[in-house]
Structure 1
Amino acid sequence: MMSDFVQVSDEALNQAADHLGDLLQEQGWVMATAESCTGGWVAKVLTDRPGSSDYVTAGLVTYSNAAKQAVLGVSAQTLAEHGAVSEPVVRQMVAGALAATGADVAVAISGIAGPGGGSPDKPVGTVWFAWGSGPEHTETAVRRFQGDRDQVRRQSVLFALESVSRYLAPALMDS
């Protein structure tokens, strides 16, 4: 698991969101977010840009396990076996966001921003990510960010935006 700390400014978040917005527009795709620990922050920075309704269809904040199940169709069994902060859960969150919104691509984030809630195997700063355009086209990553709650969330938002941008970039080269 990668562990790192980066001070993330509002400007860095806005630049990453603008870059992703440009990629989505170039590809003609719309995006949805399924967010837990970031509380809708990815959707917020994407929609700060005028014209973002062309490429953002929905931002789903599913903070509780009950919301992950009801809104995104995450299975109770998966939550019980792996916990909300896990690869199987973020994969199901992406699938659920795509199904619920009809988006072309979705990103999911579930983590422990702190200051409490961590455990020895999932300490504060552990965040799972998934992004993709379908079950067979979903990528995942886990990061262990350093810093306080705000810093963990900022780093998570930036990582999510940059990951979806990297995912979309090869598709543009193929078109």
Structure 2
Amino acid sequence: MSLFWALLCGSLFGFNISKSLGIRIAIIIFGIIFIGHYLTILPTIFNYWDSSDKFIRYNDKSNPFKRLLIMLIPKLDTYKVIDKKLIRSIQITGLPMTNDLLSSALFVATEGGFLYNLMVMIRYPVKVKLLLKNGQIINLNLSRDYVDHPAETIGKLKIFLNDFPSEELDLSPETKHLIY
């Protein structure tokens, strides 16, 4: 997308004013979209994690430099594995979310127009926060799934939390009521 918009804007300036200005505009537009937009929203939109009975596998995009490398060379995106026995406590942040924030998966939503769901995901992130026994904190993002399919995501979250003893779950009363 960043290359498309850069070429479109650059060619408009290049054909109408000057080619060198068109090239400069294309580079600026590409940089704004590629660095300014995709680098900032990559952990929210393009994240992945799954859970088995013993392990949690996730891709870590918390480091901005690593994110940039992943954007340039996608094959560098590797998964980290956490043994569930190493988890001290689990928190859920961002739940419950009011229903008036959620919209359909359509690009044009009545609530806010174009990219409404993206703004909800960025402004009100839903995360599973894992506190490990060594003090490390790992955030697993649920925002995209929750905005697109809230009922299914809550069901999957309930199944995920059933793998842990209740003393490891540090959930607010509102979140407990929503999930259970």
Could you tell me the TM-score, scaled by structure 2's length? 0.26
Larger relative contact order, structure 1 or 2 (CA cutoff 8 Å, min sep 6): 1
Could you tell me the TM-score, scaled by structure 1's length? 0.27
